[in-house]
Every structure is written in C-alpha cells, then in structure tokens.
Structure 1
Amino acid sequence: MDAIIEVENVSRRFGGITAVNDCSLQVRRGSITGLIGPNGAGKTTLFNMVAGNVAPSSGTIRFDGRKTDGLKPHELFGRGLLRTFQIAHEFSRLTVLENLMMVPAAQPGENLASVWLQGSRMREGERRVRERAEEVVDFLRLGHVAQELAGNLSGGQKKLLELGRTMMVDAKVVLLDEIAAGVNRTLLASLADSIERLNRERGYTFFVIEHDMDLISRLCDPVIVMAAGTVMREGSFGDLRNDAAVVEAYFGGSPTGHATGSVRS
C-alpha cells in the first residue's frame, strides 16, 4: 500500500491518562479514509499528533515518507498537510473571498520593502491569489456569498469555506474533523460532493473523523475503528457495520437499526 500517513506504535499520555495507546495505522494515498469510534476513543488526540499540534509520547508518525517528529502545524502545512476543525475558524470580519486570499504563505504584500520597491510584482501576486480564490468560490458554489462577511455565514457555509482554504495551497492530505457537525442535510450533501470531486479530480487524500454514519458510508473506504486509544478494526463500512465487536464497542448493541443514519455517541 502506498501510504501517505503512517502511524507506528504511537502513544500519548497526559499525566496518568493514556489517550492513545500503541496505535498503528496507515492512510493510503488518494483514499478517503474514515476514523470512527466512541467518544474518548482517542481519535482527536491522534489527529492532533498527525497535524503536529501534540507530540507523541512514544512511537513514530510519517507523512509522505518523512518523519514528522518535532514539526509544527505550519511546517506540515508547508508540506501539504492541512486540517479543518469541528468548529470553523474563519476571519469573521473579512469576506469569504478575503478569507481565501489570506491562506497562501509568503505573498509579496507581506514584505514592506516589496510594497515600496516592487509594487508591480506585489500587484501581480495579489491578482494571481485573487484569481485562485475566485476559482475556489466557483468550485464550491459559494459565488452568492463571495462578498459576504464570513461571520455572517451559516454553519454549513463556514465548513465549505474551511474546505476552500485547503484548495488555496497544494494540499496533499486534508484532515477533516467532524465536518458534519452543525450542518443541515442540504449543505452536507454539497460538502460531500465537494470532497468527492477534490478526491477524484485533484487527487486529494482525506482522513476523516466523523460520527455521521451516512457521511462515512458515502465517502469512506476504508474505515478505521478506534476504541480505548488504539485501532480495533479496519475494513469497508459494509463489513464493519455487521461486525459484532465493532457494534458492541461503538454502537452499544446489535447492528439492527444502527447500520445507517446519523449516529451520535
């Protein structure tokens, strides 16, 4: 398997609490891989370690074949690993278009000397960034709110904007954390469409934490199940929904009635 993320025997302890315990998994390049499990299973802590927000207590994480030990989120961002959050982090007083234009690093206008001495270069750089942002707005069908302040958007529109930010750079992997939370079903369908298109047309790899089983079953293959801080099972959603151990650990009962739909735990 051509793995773009490799987690090898990783643990994370907080004082006397072990949040992730000797966990190993891989995310295949070009896949949409789901990560599910009950609350407290260690999913978010694992995401935090992959994204560079938290260092492992032990074990190794590799991204695109290179160890990420000691790398910070902005360094991983520069290598093409991006993350969205359950609660969107928009610049509320900037427009949708301006939010997108804030993403690319090392823009000419960030350097005061460039503003004074290389005005034409600065303007050309800003033009290219704006064109890219307009393309993203069109791709995500957000043209009707492009000039709206981001703080005025609905929850689902903010999630689309977060996804749009990942399109402003050359993303290799996007970590999606509870993207369905607080999103109505219509906008969630639009989000799912956009994720599928980015995966199919632009080769994005997605690693998805999600409690909404409809979304997991639509998007993800494979699906990894975590419980008690480590990987319990991995397989297709169809196989896992009928796995008695998974049903007991995650759903707390028989598969009947819990195979599909929005499951919260």
Structure 2
Amino acid sequence: MSSMIEVKSVQKSFGRLKVINDCSFNIEKGSITGMIGPNGAGKSTIFNIIAGTIPLDTGNIILDGEDVTNQTANALFGKGLLRTFQIAHEFSHMTALENLMMVPPRQLGENLFNAWFQPGKVARQETKNRRKALEVIDYIGLDHVKNELAGNLSGGQKKLLELGRTMMTDSKVVLLDEVAAGVNRTLLKGLTDNILRMNRDLGVTFLVIEHDMDMIAKLCDPVIVLAQGSVMVEGKIEDIQNNPQVIEAYFGSTDAA
C-alpha cells in the first residue's frame, strides 16, 4: 500500500518545552491506524499538526503525495482531510438532518446573488444535499432522530452525527480524537461498526487516538505508540500490549525493588 499521510521529522515546541521531537511515521491508504501513548506523549499535538490546527516548527506533512506542511484546516478540508473531536461540535439549534446538510462546501445558497437570481440552481443543490443527508443518516443509524435538535441528542448520538458529517464530503482520511469518550457501550458498538463500514465500503483511511484499548484492538492495524514526542514502537496490537517498552512507559518499571 502507498501512504496517505507521511509525517517526516516533525518537531514542535511551546516556549522551552519540546512536545514533539523528531517524530516520523506513515499512515497507509485504506488503513485504520491507532495512536496510543501515556498522558503527555504528544498525541494531541501531532494530531493537531496533521489537521492544520497548529503549525509545526520543523519537518513536513505529506497528504496523498502532496506537501501540505502548515496548511490551514480549511485548506486540508478541501483536500479531503477531516477530523472529529473528543467533544462533538454540533449545531445544537439545528436538526440532525440539517447538521449534515450544512457540511458540503461551496453551497450556492451561501451567496446572496445566487439566492436572488438563481433560486432554481440553489433549490436543486439543496435537494441533492438533502437526499445525500438522508442516505447518510440512515447509514449511521440515526434516521429515528433526524428531525430532533442536535443539542438534544445523547453524547453517543452526537458522536455518530459527527462521523456522519465526514461522509457528506469526499473525505480521503478522517482523524478521530477519542471518539469513545462518554459513549455508552451500545452506541460505541454502533460507532465502531460504522468506522469499519466506512473503511470497507468507502475506502476511507482513519487515524484514531483512543484510550479504549478494546476499541483499538477491534479497529486498528497497525498501532503507533508515542512517548515523549516521538514514535516508540509500531505494530499489531497483540505485540504492542506485550512489549516491555510500552508496559514501562504506561506503568513504570516492573523490575523488583
């Protein structure tokens, strides 16, 4: 497989604190790659660098063969890279269906000229977006709450809705930030199943930061372990869980006193 994302010798400091230290790894096309590590390992920082939320100091980020180093999140969105958040960012006073319809970029109705002088084109595009939103909301299993205000949905339903929003664009790669946080086990199974389906059916590549090791074990191959701002080890979850370096990084030395 070829690489969807290449992280090359990235470094990032905040003042005198170096958070990312010569970090390099690849995310292969079509993979669901997990990223784990102890608190303070730099997971969120490297995630934000890839997503265009914060700039790196040195190094490069390559997306599908293109150098996108320090491009903005909006620019990366246009190139098919999306991210979700630990806390869902829904439009709470709009329905679940309307939240999905808001996602596609360059909507004609956003332009006042089009709204006044090309209402037919605007209406046709809105009909197309609504049709796709209905397909997506059925796909993710939220059809029964499509007309509910998004602010009234449960935490797990909001996470599903956010995952659905990534399907409203031609996304190549989705960055998932602790998608299991605050989600009950029933809805978590729905989230996991939908991620697997999107990967299988739509070819979406995923990079997942997650503390839920059961979810990582079900979803991810390979798994990257970050420690002190750089990659400690990478491999299958079974090997990672039995790796002495990883055990020590999480739990401290297991040697007898």
After TM superposition, the score normalised by the length of structure 1 is 0.94
Q: Residues 253-264 of structure 1 correspond to what in structure 2 (within 5 A)?
A: none
Quote the offset at 1:248 in angstroms: 1.2
CA distance in 1, matches of 2:120, 2:232: 57
- The aligned counterpart of 1:136 is 136
User: Contact 2:32 / 2:222 at 8 angstroms: preserved in 1?
Assistant: yes
Give the Å deviation of 1:253: 6.5
Deviation, 1:68, is 1.0
Look up the match of 1:7. 7
Task: Write the letter of the residue equivalent to 1:218.
Answer: K
SS at structure 1 position matched to 2:54: coil
Counterpart Cα distance in 1 of 2:17 and 2:248: 23
Q: Does 1:93 align with 2:93?
A: yes
Q: Scaled by the length of structure 2, what TM-score is found?
A: 0.97
SS in 1 for 2:127: helix
User: Separation in 2 of the partners of 1:84 and 1:116?
Assistant: 35
- Counterpart of 1:70 in 2: which secondary structure? coil
Q: Residue 187 of structure 2 corresponds to which residue in structure 1?
A: 187
Per the TM alignment, residue 96 of structure 1 is displaced from its structure 2 partner at its CA by 0.2
Q: Contact 2:62–2:68 (CA<8 Å) still a contact in 1?
A: yes
Q: CA deviation at 1:115?
A: 1.0
Separation (CA, whole Å) in 2 of partners of 1:77 and 1:3 = 18
Task: Please state how far the C-alpha of 1:175 moved relative to its aligned partner.
Answer: 0.1
Taking the TM superposition and a 5 Å limit, the aligned residue runs for 1:1-265 are 1-252=1-252
In structure 1, the residue corresponding to 2:174 is in which secondary structure?
strand
CA contact (8 A) 2:34 2:208 kept: yes
Distance in 1 of aligned mates of 2:6 and 2:52: 14
Per the alignment, in what secondary structure is the counterpart of residue 197 of structure 1? helix
Looking at structure 1, the residues matched to 160 and 228 of structure 2 have their Cα atoms a distance apart, in angstroms, of 32
Q: How far is the alpha carbon of 1:71 from its aligned partner?
A: 1.1
Contact persistence 2:56–2:70 (CA under 8 A): no
Following the alignment from structure 2 to structure 1, what is the Cα–Cα distance between the partners of residues 135 and 251?
41
Q: Which amino acid aligns with 2:18?
A: T
- 1:5-42 C-alpha deviation (Å, 9 max, x unpaired): 00011010000001111000000000000000001000
Q: How many pairs align? A: 254
Matched residue, 1:260: none
Q: Tell me which amino acid in the other structure corresponds to 2:178.
A: E
Residues 211-236 of structure 1 deviation map (CA, whole Å, 9 limit, x = unaligned): 00000000000000000010000000
Hey, what's the Cα distance between the residues in 1 that align with 2:177 and 2:105? 23
**CA deviation after TM superposition for structure 1 residue 69, in Å:** 2.1
Deviation of 1:250 (Å):
2.1
RMSD: 0.9
How far apart are the structure 1 equivalents of 2:96 and 2:223? 33
Query: Aligned-pair distance for 1:110?
Result: 0.7
CA deviations 1:40-77 (Å, max 9, x no partner) are 00000000000001111111111111111231001100
